[in-house]
Structure 1
Amino acid sequence: MSANQKQAKAPGAGRRNEQVGVVVSAKMQKSVVVAVVRLVQHAVYHKTIRRTSTFMAHDEKGAHKGDTVRIVEARPLSKRKRWRVEEILTRATAVEDTAGLEESAR
């Protein structure tokens, strides 16, 4: 294999696994916790059950809690981080603090 063929193969050298989920924690610097929901069928009763998996992902995009994001597999970045945020699909709507408004009105 020549050097040109290796370079051409490197960027797409295998399909990276992708998941879409919701950010459940964004309290760390450049890291988020993403919850991914999948549907599985019960082995005996054949009822469809929701299962949730959480992944720690590297976040350079600045995702916040409640955002829907696409994450892709990456090289190991730390002990628990093996994913990175590819893109933010939808932003969470800003929720106003209604408790603080009610107290100030009294």
Structure 2
Amino acid sequence: MPKRILEGVVVSDKGEKTVVVKVERTLLHPLLKKTVRSSKKYHAHDEANALKVGDIARIVECAPKSKLKRWEVLSNASAS
């Protein structure tokens, strides 16, 4: 089964080797037929501690690393 890859904006880098990434997605409301934006925050493991608030990050699913971290940083999309 392929691992999911998401892209979002770093909203917090306070934790040691941890970033919080806010991922936004759009979906069509089933009744109103209007585009609705929804967002979710994911805690991701950042081994290099390189990402800062406002950076765009790509994260990938991984085995649980702690209570909240089930994602790890794949790359820094703004640097490449």
State if a TM-score over 0.5 links the two structures: yes
Q: Determine the C-alpha separation between the residues in 1 that align with 2:53 and 2:63.
A: 24
Between Structure 1 and Structure 2, the one with more helix by share is 1
Relative contact order, CA 8 A, sep 6+: which one is greater? 2
Q: Determine the C-alpha separation between the residues in 1 that align with 2:47 and 2:66.
A: 15
Greater Cα radius of gyration, structure 1 or 2: 1
Give 2:19's aligned amino acid.
V
**Runs (5+) with no aligned partner, structure 1:** 1-13, 92-106
Q: Determine the C-alpha separation between the residues in 2 that align with 1:35 and 1:67.
A: 11
Give SS of 2:14's match. strand
Q: Which runs of 4+ in 1 moved over 2 A?
A: none
For residue 34 of structure 1, what is the aligned residue in structure 2?
Answer: 21
Q: Does 1:77 align with 2:60?
A: no
Instruction: Tell me how far 1:69 sits from its aligned partner.
Output: 0.7
Q: Does 1:24 align with 2:11?
A: yes
Give SS of 1:87's match. strand
What do you get for the CA RMSD once the two structures are aligned?
A: 1.0
**Structure 2 counterpart of 1:51, from 20, 27, 38:** 38
Give 1:83's aligned amino acid.
W
**Runs (5+) with no aligned partner, structure 2:** none
* Alignment size in residue pairs: 78
Between Structure 1 and Structure 2, the one with more strand by share is 2
